[in-house]
Structure 1
Amino acid sequence: MAYELYYWDGLQGRGEFVRLALEDAGAEYIDVAREAKKDGYGTDAMMKLMNSKTEPHIPFAPPFLKDGELIVPHVANILLYLGPKLNLAPKDEGSRYVAHGLQLTITDFVAEVHDTHHPLATDLYFEDQKDAARIRAQNFLDKRVPKFFGYFERVLKQNPHGDTQMIGDTITYVDLSMFQLVEGLHYAFPRAMKTFAKHYPRVAALHDAVLARPNIGAYVDSERRIPFNESGIFRHYPELDQDAK
């Protein structure tokens, strides 16, 4: 039975972190909101499940994954569940929790990316909070990017099994998520990211190694990969970008 991925249509968003794992593994899955309503899918099907009065484990918000009768919400939780099934997780249980911790750190970072363009309120338009966004984005680029990527660079350096995997000697879903993080930031802040590879060579090498994977390369070049746009987490607003230091 195919996995069912529930996420908003028209944007990569947080759902893309799950898509990358499914695509890399060549897993059969249905991107529910993007499928035809006449086939029982579409956004209405997602909203119906979220608003169910009988489902005992209703998800708060997408993304969530349905595997048979099981519903798994939240990106890091979904990847913790999928990782062993897709051969994208460490073999031993202890290391799986280390990988989960790294994914949760990525989750924290992604939330800060979102807040560069919506620092005051999610329900307000970007145009209603531009001044605050400029301040938040500058702090993000000056302080938070070095803090997070400095940490990720050290994790790669101190992995005894190779410096293009975050943990262990084979690729995991964490590496795929790091790829997406770097891709997204290059889209959102092209000026600030110009010298990224110079400052974080191991993270840049990880990104390139993931892109070189056949299934990922094919997916990135396909129509299945929704282009970055200003409806997702990674948004390009020129007024928030700045020259690389």
Structure 2
Amino acid sequence: MRYELYYWTGIQGRGEFIRLALEDAAADYVDVNRKRGDSAMMPFLRGKQEGALPYAPPFLKAGRLVIAQTATILAYLGPRLGLVPGGLGAEIYAQQLQATITDLLAEVHDTHHPIAVDLYYEQQRSAARKRAQAFREERLPKYLAYFENVLERGNGRQALSRHSYVDLSLFQVVSGLDYAFPNAMQRVQKRMPRLRALAGRIAERPNVRAYLASPRRIPFNQDGVFRHYPELDSSR
């Protein structure tokens, strides 16, 4: 099957978690908006296409299926791409972990947009500094400790009994946090040895390595979920 991924052009965002799974599995897919522009997804968002109605991208078209929400898309792709261990228990646990990553992404986003999505960062900078401080000091260590424990309870190297889409997503989380909060990540470095090692191994997987070196990998920038504003990463 050839998959069609719909997501905003020019940013990694939540679509990147799906791209990593498709790339790692060498799946046949097309990043539709990058070929046809963001207008390509509007008929789906406006209910002009058959199938499920997405609220927002990313969404995936697989045959006649239209699947939205990152965690749901990955839950669908996981068994089909060999990116989740077999068995209902493993599939549900993977979904649970991916949903927790979704929670983390929402909190990362709110560090630079704590008041309203429709306002520019510059219009909420003061509130963003307060939100980012709470995230750096309280929420970030808590999330990283949780996922460190997940790896420890697994086999010490992966979230589940073998390589899965959750590992790919944790790589993206670590990479994004390194970009957005380099100082904060440096301060918690010693408390996340398994996560750091996992991220290094994922980066060296042949298909992922080739993807990261290709123009298909959009660089981190100031329009995605992970944004680097030095004042939000300051300990002052």
Q: What stretches of structure 2 of length at least 5 have no aligned partner?
A: none
* Alpha-carbon distance, 1:44 to partner: 1.6
The aligned residue for residue 192 of structure 2 is 200
The aligned residue for residue 29 of structure 1 is 29
Equivalence map 1:66-85=2 (5 Å): 66-85=61-80
* Alpha-carbon distance, 1:190 to partner: 1.3
The aligned residue for residue 101 of structure 1 is 96
The aligned residue for residue 81 of structure 2 is 86
Measured against aligned partners, the alpha-carbon deviations of 1:26-67 in whole angstroms (never above 9, x if no partner) come to 0010101000xxxxx332221122113452422110000000
Contact 1:119–1:136 (8 Å) recurs in 2: yes
What is the DSSP-based 3-state SS (H/G/I as helix, E as strand, rest coil) of the residue aligned with 1:194?
Answer: helix
The aligned residue for residue 166 of structure 1 is 159
What is the DSSP-based 3-state SS (H/G/I as helix, E as strand, rest coil) of the residue aligned with 2:79?
Answer: helix
CA distance in 2, matches of 1:5, 1:66: 7
Equivalence map 1:80-229=2 (5 Å): 80-159=75-154, 162-168=155-161, 170-229=162-221
Say whether 1:238 aligns with 2:230. Answer: yes
Tell me which amino acid in the other structure corresponds to 1:197. Q
Measured against aligned partners, the alpha-carbon deviations of 1:68-100 in whole angstroms (never above 9, x if no partner) come to 110010000000000001100111111110111
CA distance in 2, matches of 1:116, 1:171: 31
Q: What stretches of structure 1 of length at least 5 have no aligned partner?
A: 36-40
What is the DSSP-based 3-state SS (H/G/I as helix, E as strand, rest coil) of the residue aligned with 1:121?
Answer: coil
1:56 and 1:84, CA in 2 relative to 1: closer, same or farther beyond 3 A?
closer
Tell me which amino acid in the other structure corresponds to 2:43. K
* Alpha-carbon distance, 1:198 to partner: 1.2
CA RMSD of aligned residues (A): 1.3
The aligned residue for residue 15 of structure 2 is 15
Contact 2:71–2:95 (8 Å) recurs in 1: yes
Runs of 4+ in 1 over 2 A off after TM superposition: 52-56
Contact 1:164–1:209 (8 Å) recurs in 2: no
Tell me which amino acid in the other structure corresponds to 1:235. R
* Alpha-carbon distance, 1:201 to partner: 0.4
CA distance in 2, matches of 1:53, 1:26: 31
* Alpha-carbon distance, 1:241 to partner: 0.6
Contact 2:141–2:188 (8 Å) recurs in 1: no
Tell me which amino acid in the other structure corresponds to 1:68. G
What is the DSSP-based 3-state SS (H/G/I as helix, E as strand, rest coil) of the residue aligned with 1:192?
Answer: helix
Percent identical: 56
* Alpha-carbon distance, 1:126 to partner: 0.2
What is the DSSP-based 3-state SS (H/G/I as helix, E as strand, rest coil) of the residue aligned with 1:122?
Answer: coil
Measured against aligned partners, the alpha-carbon deviations of 1:99-155 in whole angstroms (never above 9, x if no partner) come to 110000000001000000000000000000000000000000000011111111111
Structure with a larger share of its residues in helix: 2
> Does 185-194 or 77-86 show the bigger shift?
185-194
CA distance in 2, matches of 1:151, 1:49: 36
Tell me which amino acid in the other structure corresponds to 2:231. E
Give the total of aligned pairs. Answer: 236
